[in-house]
Structure 1
Amino acid sequence: MVAGGASDTGGVKPMSIAGRMVRERERLIGMTPEERAWRKQWLKDQELHHGPRKVPALELELNNPIKRIYRAPLDAVCKALTPALGFQRAYTVRYWTGKALIALTGIYSLAYYFKYNQNDWTRKGGWRVISSRKACVPGDEGFPRLSDRSAPSDYAARGFKESVI
């Protein structure tokens, strides 16, 4: 049943378009030349086209105008590559190029955010990046190095001492 109570056939009882020739026994009884031609055409009609088929009217129906606008650049690349690579390879290039651009945009966005939105003494929000002090092991120059911070005001300064204010 389809939503809303309507039937799949629109209220008409379904029927087979294959006729009586769908059964092998009926065909073995004997077929007229007209039935033989009809059966041949019916079998030919059952063959499916192999490979993707692009129907422009269907593309317009399935893709709204906004989607068509943002897909246009990569569709143009795919259209330009199709004669040289074939449709399947050109579409694969188009698909992975889009995914790579999205990933690159994400990486650049994160890098920008971490660079310009750090948590320092001027703001409350942002990511606080804390680096560990360098390791000092026996045998290193200045071995018993305790801390780089000399005064208690150096702790939790969050860049205040380096500011130009």
Structure 2
Amino acid sequence: MASSETGGVKPMSIAGRMVRERERLIGMSNDERAWRKQWLKDLELHHGPRIVPELEKELQNPIKRFYRFPLDKLGEALTPVLGTQRAYTIRFWTGKFAMAIAAIYAGAYYFKYNQNDWTRKGGWRVITSRPVCNPGDEGYPKVSDRTQPSDYAARGFKQATI
């Protein structure tokens, strides 16, 4: 059994018989004219966003309201000065910029204090290439700085001050 959009009830048009131009040309009473005028007025949409505080509170849980609070206050302060659209744009990009800066700082902190060296198993292992040594440079041909087998895979052990 397929469910219908109307739940089994036949759909009914609220426009009445006046939705067709031919019916309106036949003639309308004053009540029908008033009803048609109100019906057309009701079809007009409001331009711009409508903010209903109760609806906003229902749609946003307390955690979301908490972390949105600072930028919402910034937007409220900027709206009278810059207008709704510009204030929203500044509010939006301020949040994105703050998250990008936080991600950069977190990455820098992680790479600085969680290096993969001989003291730990985890962390990012950062390997740097040897400096370039071209013909004509001092020390050419410089094959490697590593002279003994223990220099390979030392992971900073030889530089440790134990």
TM over 0.5: yes
State how far apart, in whole Å, the 2-side matches of 1:47 and 1:120 are: 68
Query: Is residue 42 from structure 1 mapped to residue 39 from structure 2 by the alignment?
Result: yes
Aligned-pair CA distance for 1:10: 6.6
How well do the aligned residues superpose, as a CA RMSD in angstroms? 1.8
| Match of residue 32 from structure 1 | 29
| Match of residue 111 from structure 2 | 114
Aligned-pair CA distance for 1:66: 0.8
- 2:124 aligned to 127, 133, 137, which one? 127
State how far apart, in whole Å, the 2-side matches of 1:92 and 1:46 are: 30
Deviation digits for residues 11-64 of structure 1 (CA, Å, limit 9, x no counterpart): 754322211111111110111112111111110110001111111111011111
1:109 partner letter = A
Q: What SS class does the counterpart of residue 138 from structure 2 fall into?
A: coil
Deviation digits for residues 83-139 of structure 1 (CA, Å, limit 9, x no counterpart): 011111111111111111111111111111111111100011111111111111111
Unaligned 5+ runs, structure 1: none
Structure 1 residues 1-165: aligned runs within 5 Å: 13-165=10-162
Unaligned 5+ runs, structure 2: none
State how far apart, in whole Å, the 2-side matches of 1:144 and 1:68 are: 64
State how far apart, in whole Å, the 1-side matches of 2:150 and 2:30 are: 103
State how far apart, in whole Å, the 1-side matches of 2:57 and 2:20 are: 41
State how far apart, in whole Å, the 1-side matches of 2:53 and 2:29 are: 41
- Paired residues, what number? 161
Deviates more, 1:7-16 or 1:34-43: 7-16
State how far apart, in whole Å, the 2-side matches of 1:11 and 1:52 are: 35
